[in-house]
Structure formats: structure tokens, C-alpha cells
């Protein structure tokens, strides 16, 4: 990753490590990188900010960084010995993707790092916005201005092999590129319509728009005149050949799948045939194809999650009860009261006892046709036959959990801010925990995300998510008013005099609000 960066970007990363150590942090955060970029002096990142009339010194003041020791014990060029936080890794990934979308051979510069910070949200973006930067305009204008203006590549120019000087061969290649470009654009529009109007997901819609924009920019590198003059729809033998599968679209999901396949195949054809003309443009088609593979994973995961969890409203977290009998009674009462998901969260038990309890809960939830989730432990979730596993930010990585529980299991991830939420979606979560909202009787929290995070989650993603943390019948209206549709509760049901009545009251209010 570091090797692909310019010297200025590498210095900024090294400096961010020093700043993180200065504030006593165990890992480098996006705010450290932002401070390092502002302290870099003359750079493209600084130049971009000045174009938007934003003073870098104001950003440094807002960060409120402590002064370095007089001994200067923190060397500005000290090697990076601290790990990057998940948020910073996300920023760097966005920066690299942005740079490569413009030119795969181009180094990642300070301007790309700044773009990643501005576009990834979180605390660094909030500091930039607080200093007077219009984030939306900045991201869009920087992306637009950073796009290399692609001059159409004439067939046969500066490429002695293969010889495309013969007009007939140029026209043949032009027909292939024209047909593939049309297929790719049409398929992406069909996919975009599904994401916008069926899933109605803002985050996925934004990412799909970026893919379509990049395809349009890349296609400008081809000769539009030759594409159009080479077009021969009437003479295309493929237009008259149909298979049964082409007409078989049983549902909207089938339309979605078919068009992802159509788009990736078209991009592969564009990638291969533009190698005859310009390897750089071919590389951009290749990058788009890989990005579309990721988009397909995210969209299909969202479709499956909505199908399996779309109607669920109430999740009850159980655990810490003295006996197996207490556990099974509470679970049975919660299910009878209308809980649709039971999540088993146990601490301090031996693995054998945990598994015994999990298997009993599996039986009860299966009888009630409810979902059963095991907290933290992918291995025990699989052994118990649970529907899925729920992970916290410090548990095993989603990719590793998926290897244990398999592709069909539900994978939930706790998130405490927007950066974690977006990362969880990219990691393939089937559902999310959003919180903590209020202080809880069953779990201690270092900080509360509050209702503001609920509002942001409602704006960012329509992937199934459960508001969690101290929710009860008294504060439920505030949570629903903030945009939540699903909740996860513990003490409000588990510690109630009648768990069945408590669950029934919560479920009634959820159903009443629709």
C-alpha cells in the first residue's frame, strides 16, 4: 500500500504515526492523518483546500493537537510502528480506489488522501466541514477535476501491432467495442434502478452512481465517431438469436442477477479489445469489472438480508441467568410475547455449558419459527445450529467468522459510528447493531452513540439494523421517531416481572408505528 504512494503521501502517513503516539493512542486514526496533511506545508492537498477558501491552520486549530516535547523526541520521519485503525484503513482504501480510477499507474498523492478523508465521513470529515469546507461540493468537484480528460484513441495510432490500418478491421473492432459499451451501460442502469427503487438504499445507490460515472469517463477514451459509424444493428446476427434463458425472468432478483452478469461480461470484452489500442484504458475497464464484483456481493447480500430479516422487529438478548431452567423460561416467555430473534450472549461460562444452553435455545426458537443468533462465538454458533452469529468490533473479523459459520448464516455486526456502519456493510453484514443509544442495566459502555447515530443510520443504509442499548417501553417512541424500525433489548424483557408481557408491549408499539 505504502509503495503505491507519492513521497508526500508517505511523509504524511509517517507524520500521522508520530501524532498518534503524541496523543498516547494505540493506533493511527483519520484525524492523525488529517493533522499530518495540514502540517505538510506545500502539497496538492493544501492547494485543493485553498481553492475552496479553507485555511489549513483553522483545521489544525480545530483539531486541538498537543504540543510536541521540546526535546523533539518524536521524529517527524520515524517509521510507522502503530497499526492503522479500521477507519483509517477505510480512508486509505477509498483514496487508493479514487487514484486508480483515474490512472492505475498513478501514485496515491496527498490530494487523494484528503479526498478519502472527506468522502469517508467520520470525525475527520466533521473537522473539515467545521472549518468551512462544503464536503459534497469538494468531493464531487475534486473527483471531476481529477479525472484525466481522455482523448479518443484512434484505431491503429502509435501501435504497430496488430496492424489496424486496414479499415475493415478497424470497423470490426469498432462494432465489438460499441456493442460491449452499450451492453455495459444498459446493464448498469438496470442494476441502478433495482438499488434505488427496490432496495432504496442510499449508500449502495451512491456507490453504484460512482461506478456508472467512471464507466462513462472511460468510454470517452474511445472514438465515438468510429463506434457509431461501425454500428450495424440490422446486420448483427446476434439480434436474431434468442435462448429460452434470455426471456426467463421469474422475479426482480433474476433481473438483477442477469444484468450483473451482463455488465461484467461486457466489461471483460471492453478490457480485452482495448488492449489492442491502449493498455491504460484497458486497465480502467479491468478496475471497473472488479469493482462491479464487489457491488454484486453487497447488493445480493442486501437482498438476502431483506428476505430473511425484513419483517423482524424485536430481538431479545438473553444471558447471564443462573440456571438453564431460568434461561429456557425467559426465552419461551419472550417468544410467546412476540420476539422474532433471540440472541444468546453469555460471559464467563465454559464452552461446554455455553453450547448446552445454545442448543436448548435453538430448540425453542425453531419451534417458534424465530431466528437464533449466538453472540461473539462463530464456532459455537455453528455447533448449535444457530441461524447466525453476532460480532462486536473487537471480535474476529467478519471474513474469518464467515469461514466458520458458512455462507448461509446470518452475520451481524455491532456499530457505534457511521464509519463502522459503512465498513460493516462492505464486510458483508446481513444486519447491524446500531448503538448504544441509552445507558444499559446489563452492559457497560464507554460512550453512547445516542439518537443522532440512529438518525444517521436511517439516512445511510436500508440494510436491516437494530437499535440497541437501554431501550425500554418508555423511551421507545424517541428511538422510533429517530428512524429506527427494529430494536434489540435485554433488561427490558429479561429482568421484567413478566417477560412475556414486556415483550408483548414492545411488540405492540413497534407494530403500531409500522
Residue 155 lies in a domain: no
* pLDDT at site 156: 47
Residue 331 falls inside a structural domain:
yes
Cα 129 to Cα 132: distance, rounded to the nearest angstrom: 5
* Same-domain pairing of 485 and 338: yes
Q: Extract long-range pairs of 326-333: CB within 8 Å, 24+ residues apart.
A: 327/357, 327/360, 327/361, 328/360, 328/361, 328/364, 330/493, 330/494, 330/499, 331/361, 331/364, 331/365, 332/364, 333/498, 333/499, 333/500, 333/503
Q: Does 403 qualify as catalytic in the annotation?
A: no
- Of 89, 212, 262, 345, the active-site residue reads 345
Catalytic residue among 16, 414, 440, 461: 414
* Domain of residue 83, CATH code: 1.10.1780.10
Q: Residue 152 domain-assigned? A: no
What pLDDT, on the 0 to 100 scale, is given for residue 397? Answer: 94
**Is 159 inside any structural domain?**
no
- ∠ at Cα 200 (198, 202), nearest 5°? 150
Over residues 302-339, the pLDDT tens digits come to 999 999 998 999 999 999 999 999 999 999 999 999 99
Among 273, 261, 316, smallest CA distance to 471 is for 316
Residues 444 and 477 placed together within one structural domain of the fold: yes
- Among 450, 396, 384, which residue's Cα sits nearest to residue 418? 450
C-alpha span between 213 and 185 (Å, rounded): 10
Confidence of residue 478 (pLDDT cuts 50, 70, 90): very high
Instruction: Classify residue 69: in a domain, yes or no.
Output: yes
Question: Do 326 and 471 sit in the same domain of this protein?
Answer: yes
Q: Show the cell assigned to 3.
A: 509503495
Say what the pLDDT of residue 463 is: 95
- Check: CB of residue 17 under 8 Å from CB of residue 9: no
**Cα 162 to the chain's mean position, in Å?**
42
The DSSP 8-state label assigned to residue 148 in this structure reads: -
Catalytic pick among 443, 455, 491, 509: 443
Domain boundary pick from 290, 305, 320: 305
Same domain, 368 and 492: yes
Residues 174 and 214 in one domain: yes
Domain count, the chain: 3
pLDDT surpasses 60 at 78? no
- 489, β-bridge pairs: 316
Q: Assess if residue 158 is contained within a domain.
A: no
In a domain, 157, yes or no: no
Active site residue 230: no
**pTM confidence score:** 0.67
* C-alpha span between 243 and 245 (Å, rounded): 5
Residue 154 pLDDT exceeds 80: no
For residues 457 and 500, what is the distance between their CA atoms, to the nearest angstrom?
29
- Res. 247 pLDDT band, cuts 50 70 90: low
Closest Cα partner for 388 from 335, 442, 315? 315
Helix (H, G, I), strand (E, B) or coil at 498: coil
- The domain boundary, picked from 305, 338, 360, lies at 305
364 shares a domain with 483: yes
Query: Is there a single domain that holds both residue 466 and residue 342?
Result: yes
Last residue of a domain, one of 305, 326, 358: 305
Range of the domain at 68: 2-146
| pLDDT single digits (tens) 254-304 | 899 999 999 999 999 999 999 988 888 999 999 999 999 999 999 999 999
Which pLDDT score, from 0 to 100, does residue 15 have? 87
Residues 296 and 318 placed together within one structural domain of the fold: no
CATH at 328: 3.20.20.70
Q: Phi and psi at residue 146, in whole multiples of 5°?
A: -85, -10
Rounded to whole angstroms, how far apart are CA atoms 372 and 367? 11
Rounding to the nearest 10 degrees, give the CA dihedral for residues 386, 387, 391, 395.
40
**Which residues have C-beta within 8 Å of that of residue 478, sequence separation ≥ 6?**
451
Whole-angstrom distance, CA of residue 469 vs CA of residue 464: 17
CA atoms within 13 A on the CB side of 168: 0
Q: What tens digit of pLDDT does each residue of 421-472 get?
A: 999 999 999 999 999 999 877 666 668 999 999 999 999 999 999 999 999 9
Same domain, residue pair 190 and 136: no
Say yes or no to pLDDT of 168 above 90: no
Whether the CB-CB separation of 432 and 453 falls below 8 Å is answered with: no
Classify the C-alpha dihedral 77-82-83-89 as positive or negative: negative
State yes or no: pLDDT of 105 exceeds 60: no
Same domain, 250 and 317: no
99 with 175, same domain: the answer is no
Residue 47 has pLDDT above 50, yes or no: yes
Q: Based on the fold, state whether residues 269 and 377 are members of the same structural domain.
A: no
Q: Is 441 a catalytic residue?
A: no
Amino acid at each position: 500500500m505504502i509503495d503505491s504512494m507519492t513521497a508526500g503521501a508517505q511523509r504524511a502517513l509517517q507524520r500521522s504515526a508520530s501524532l498518534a503516539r503524541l496523543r498516547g493512542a494505540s493506533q493511527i486514526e483519520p484525524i492523525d492523518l488529517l493533522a499530518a496533511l495540514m502540517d505538510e506545508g506545500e502539497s496538492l492537498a493544501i492547494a485543493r483546500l485553498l481553492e475552496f477558501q479553507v485555511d489549513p491552520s483553522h483545521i489544525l486549530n480545530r483539531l486541538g493537537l498537543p504540543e510536541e516535547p521540546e526535546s523533539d523526541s518524536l521524529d517527524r520521519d520515524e517509521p510507522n510502528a502503530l497499526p492503522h485503525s479500521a477507519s483509517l484503513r477505510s480512508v486509505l482504501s477509498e483514496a487508493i480506489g479514487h487514484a486508480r480510477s483515474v490512472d492505475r499507474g498513478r501514485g496515491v498523492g496527498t490530494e487523494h488522501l484528503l479526498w478519502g478523508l472527506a468522502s469517508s465521513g467520520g470525525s475527520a470529515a466533521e473537522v473539515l466541514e467545521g472549518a468551512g469546507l462544503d464536503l459534497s461540493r469538494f468531493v464531487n468537484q475534486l473527483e471531476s477535476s481529477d479525472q484525466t480528460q481522455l482523448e479518443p484513441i484512434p484505431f491503429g495510432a502509435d501501435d504497430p501491432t496488430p496492424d489496424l490500418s486496414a479499415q475493415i478491421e478497424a470497423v470490426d473492432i469498432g462494432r465489438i467495442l460499441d456493442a460491449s459499451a452499450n451492453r455495459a451501460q444498459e446493464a448498469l442502469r438496470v442494476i441502478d434502478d433495482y438499488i434505488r427503487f427496490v432496495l432504496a438504499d442510499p449508500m449502495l445507490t451512491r456507490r453504484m452512481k460512482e461506478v456508472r460515472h467512471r464507466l462513462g469517463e472511460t468510454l470517452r477514451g474511445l472514438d465515438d465517431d468510429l463506434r457509431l459509424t461501425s454500428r450495424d444493428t440490422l446486420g448483427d446476427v446476434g439480434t436474431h438469436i434468442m435462448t429460452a434463458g434470455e426471456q426467463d425472468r421469474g422475479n426482480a432478483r433474476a433481473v438483477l442477477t442477469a444484468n450483473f452478469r451482463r455488465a461484467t461480461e461486457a466489461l471483460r470484452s471492453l478490457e480485452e479489445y482495448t488492449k489492442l489500442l491502449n493498455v491504460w484504458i484497458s486497465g480502467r475497464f479491468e478496475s471497473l469489472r472488479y469493482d462491479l464484483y464487489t457491488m454484486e456481493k453487497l447488493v445480493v447480500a442486501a437482498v438476502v438480508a431483506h428476505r430473511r430479516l425484513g419483517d423482524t422487529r424485536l430481538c431479545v438478548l438473553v444471558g447471564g441467568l443462573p440456571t438453564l431452567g431460568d434461561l429456557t423460561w425467559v426465552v419461551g416467555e419472550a417468544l410467546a410475547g412476540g420476539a422474532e430473534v433471540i440472541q444468546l450472549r453469555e460471559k464467563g461460562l465454559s464452552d461446554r455449558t455455553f453450547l448446552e444452553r445454545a442448543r436448548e435455545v435453538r430448540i425453542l426458537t425453531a419451534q417458534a419459527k424465530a431466528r437464533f443468533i449466538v453472540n461473539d462465538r462463530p464456532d459455537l454458533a455453528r455447533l448449535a445450529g444457530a441461524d447466525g452469529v453476532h460480532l462486536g468490533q473487537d471480535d474476529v473479523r467478519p471474513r474469518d467468522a464467515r469461514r466458520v459459520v458458512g455462507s448461509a448464516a446470518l452475520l451481524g455486526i455491532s456499530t457505534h459510528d457511521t464509519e463502522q456502519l459503512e465498513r460493516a456493510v462492505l464486510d458483508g453484514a446481513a444486519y447491524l447493531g446500531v448503538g448504544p443509544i441509552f445507558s444499559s442495566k446489563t452492559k457497560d459502555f464507554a460512550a453512547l452513540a445516542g439518537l443522532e447515530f440512529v438518525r444517521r443510520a436511517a439516512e445511510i443504509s436500508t440494510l436491516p439494523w437494530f437499535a440497541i442499548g437501554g431501550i425500554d417501553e418508555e423511551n421507545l417512541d424517541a428511538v422510533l421517531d429517530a428512524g429506527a424500525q427494529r430494536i434489540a433489548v435485554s433488561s427490558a424483557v429479561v429482568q421484567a416481572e413478566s417477560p412475556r408481557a414486556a415483550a408483548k408491549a414492545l411488540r405492540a408499539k413497534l407494530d403500531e408505528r409500522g
